[in-house]
Amino acid sequence: MCLSNEVFINPFTDFGFKRIFGSEESKPLLISFLNDLLPLKCKIESITFKSTEKFGTTSEDRKAIYDLYCIDENKNEFIVELQRAEQKFFIDRALYYTTFPIQEQATRGSWNFELKPIYFVGILNFKVDEFKDDNYVHYCQIMDTNTKAKVSEKLNFIYIEIPKFKKSKEELSKHLEYWLYFFREVNKLKEIPKEFKGDILEDAFKRAEFLKLSKEQQHNYHINLKYYRDYINTLDTALERGIEKGIKRGIEKGEKIGLEKGIKKGEKIGIEKGEKIGIEKGIKEGEKQKAINIAKNLLKQNIDLNVIVISTGLSIEEIKELI
């Protein structure tokens, strides 16, 4: 097993994310992050972790396993998911995951269907096709598509596209930006930046220190990191092969299209050139025929051949053929 050369562990591994945010000791870090991220009317004071494994109503139903699932003192529920690589139907997955806490809110007996707010937070190490703008945080709710008015604030989806976050350390202004910088850069750094000293994020860095892990934890992190790297490498290889295949098909299709366009363009140029040559040829033949007619008239008048040559431009031989 190779040793990690990182000072801080990678938060985009399952081990790293749960080490930094998913324990009793790290609750203040998660509370800080959620308060910075979410537009809550009342800030979170405390949270309680709930089971991350959810089962359907029957044994045949598919279950859901969250990265983190918690509830605050106001009964707001939070699903926090970390996605390290692109997933085609991640938006659908988020919708599916929220169905479990929605159903759990149903009470036995009389119930008026009032729901407590549910927040799905997706921290994504990829760009989402559905989001075409440059914003790196997206807040989604149920709304009227005509008036743009909110229909319900009970179901909330927040997506963070880390690759779109481009700010340097010196450009950070909001506390949320410090968190996003932490996600993006922590495992690349060799020490805690001075800008983070004295802030709660300093504790996040300390929890991410590789050397502070026990031997067993280091071993588990190595296994998790290897899985993470293998997974990313598999995706990158598939992407490269897809690009190579796409380029090959593109060249073949391009050659075919180019050939067809070339033939059409060649035909057009040929027609234009042919028309020009035809016109020029027609003009020359017309002029010669005119000269022949003039020569014939002059011959009938017994005009000297040399005079006819000068008058028509025909040669002596051509005039003699007319006699």
pLDDT category at 55 given cuts 50, 70, 90 is low
- pTM for the model stands at 0.69
Report the chain's mean pLDDT, rounded to a whole number.
Answer: 85
Q: Please determine, for residue 86, whether its predicted confidence score (pLDDT) is greater than 90.
A: no
Q: Please determine, for residue 144, whether its predicted confidence score (pLDDT) is greater than 90.
A: yes
Strand, helix or coil for residue 222 = helix
Q: Please determine, for residue 175, whether its predicted confidence score (pLDDT) is greater than 90.
A: yes
Work out the average pLDDT over 142-153. Answer: 93
Residue for token digits 């690759």?
163
Contacts (Cβ under 8 Å, ≥6 apart) of 153: 117, 141
Cα–Cα distance between 157 and 123 in angstroms, integer?
11
Least confident of 77-91, 136-150, 300-314: 300-314
Nearest to 22 by CA among 62, 81, 75, 74: 81
Cα–Cα distance between 214 and 216 in angstroms, integer?
5
Cα–Cα distance between 201 and 208 in angstroms, integer?
11
| pLDDT for residue 154 | 93
Work out the average pLDDT over 242-246. Answer: 67
CA 179 to chain centre: 22
Nearest to 81 by CA among 39, 190, 92, 186: 92
Output 49-54 pairs: Cβ under 8 A, ≥24 positions apart: 49/22, 49/24, 50/77, 54/100, 54/101
* Distance set, CA 181 to CA 2, 6, 23, 227, 299 (Å): 28, 17, 22, 24, 102
Amino acid present at 92: D
Q: Please determine, for residue 112, whether its predicted confidence score (pLDDT) is greater than 90.
A: no
> Residue 173 gets which letter from DSSP?
-
* Distance set, CA 223 to CA 7, 25, 247 (Å): 17, 23, 36
Percent of the chain clearing pLDDT 90 (strictly above): 50
Least confident of 70-79, 198-207, 229-238, 295-304: 229-238
Residue for token digits 């709710």?
141
* 157 beta partners: 120, 140
| pLDDT for residue 160 | 97
pLDDT category at 3 given cuts 50, 70, 90 is very low
Of residues 310 and 191, more confidently modeled: 191
Phi/psi for 120 (5° steps) reads -105, 120
| pLDDT for residue 59 | 46
Least confident of 21-35, 36-50, 125-139, 256-270: 256-270
Nearest to 124 by CA among 92, 83, 174: 83
Cα–Cα distance between 123 and 180 in angstroms, integer?
9
Instruction: Give the strands of the sheet with 137-143, arranged side by side.
Output: 47-49, 68-72, 77-83, 118-124, 150-161, 137-143
Establish how many alpha carbons lie within 13 A of residue 24's alpha carbon, considering only the half-sphere containing its beta carbon.
Answer: 0
| pLDDT for residue 290 | 79
pLDDT category at 4 given cuts 50, 70, 90 is low
Instruction: For CA atoms 132, 133, 134, 139, give the dihedral sign.
Output: negative
